Amino acid sequence: MNDLTSLIQIKGLRDSLLVSLSDAPWEEQSAALLAQIDEQPTFFQGARLALDVGSQVLKVNEMVELRDRLSERRVSLWAVVSESPTTEKTAQLLGLATRISKPRPEEQQHSIEPQNLTDETALFLNKTLRSGTRVEFAGHIVVIGDVNPGAELDAEGSVVVWGRLRGSVAAGTKGNENAVVCALDLSPMRLQLGEHAFLVAERKESGKPEMASLRNGTIIVESWQTGSTG
């Protein structure tokens, strides 16, 4: 079995599994992959699989067959990464992705090794966060774009939104009392600062940038001007 499994490499990505193939013949490798899946069905069931075929050239029927074999096992093949343009085209023809850079938002998770974290570490997101997206970060979060209702931000540091903040936001979640939340339009569904303070009052758009900070255990919202940083 060991021989068989060493043909392929399986690695966890953020939201799917990446299977890298070696140069061995295709039949052996696909057999090895299916054998591994059959060995641990519970692990693989429902998984999204990306296949890195390296320089191998795959024919349409080979790809289709693997996809079907996988879907019988309730594993979905969503991407085929290849150095060969022919194989890439084949994958595109079948409606598969050929890049695996972008994770799906609902399973997006950002983690940075704690030892590298300083007070100034921030996660920069240059896009609108839509409903169902959750971003957790052990530092500050900066968003250029809107945070729509149904999206959630959870930062151990502060949160700055260059856009409309209408989703749920928690800042200073590990008890950082100096954390603030700023937005061009601060009308969150739910706002949490520090470990215990919540903003519950319904907020109307004020049309001005605002900042929420913690003072004596309660949340204060003020217009966001220079010189009033907390």
Nearest to 143 by CA among 156, 128, 158: 128
Q: Are 141 and 155 in contact (CB under 8 A)?
A: yes
Burial bucket for residue 17 (CB in 10 Å: 0-12, 13-18, 19+): middle
Residue 144's φ and ψ, nearest 5 degrees, are -105, 105
Shortest Å distance, C-beta 184 to other proteins: 14
CB-based contacts of 58: which residues, under 8 Å, 6+ apart? Answer: 26, 80, 82, 87, 90, 91
Options 6-14, 69-77, 114-122, 154-162: segment touching other proteins (CB under 8 A): 69-77
Shortest Å distance, C-beta 115 to other proteins: 31
Type of residue found at 48: R
Query: x-or-dash pattern for other proteins, window 37-66, by CB under 8 A?
Result: ---------------------------x--
Tell me the site size for other proteins, rule CB under 8 A: 26
Options 32-40, 51-59, 102-110, 214-222: segment touching other proteins (CB under 8 A): 102-110
Task: Report if residue 134 touches other proteins, rule: CB under 8 A.
Answer: no
Nearest to 82 by CA among 41, 110, 123, 54: 54
CB closer to other proteins out of 4 and 48: 48
Residue numbers at the binding site for other proteins (CB under 8 A): 64, 67-68, 71, 76-77, 93-95, 97, 99, 102-106, 128, 130-133, 146, 148-150, 166
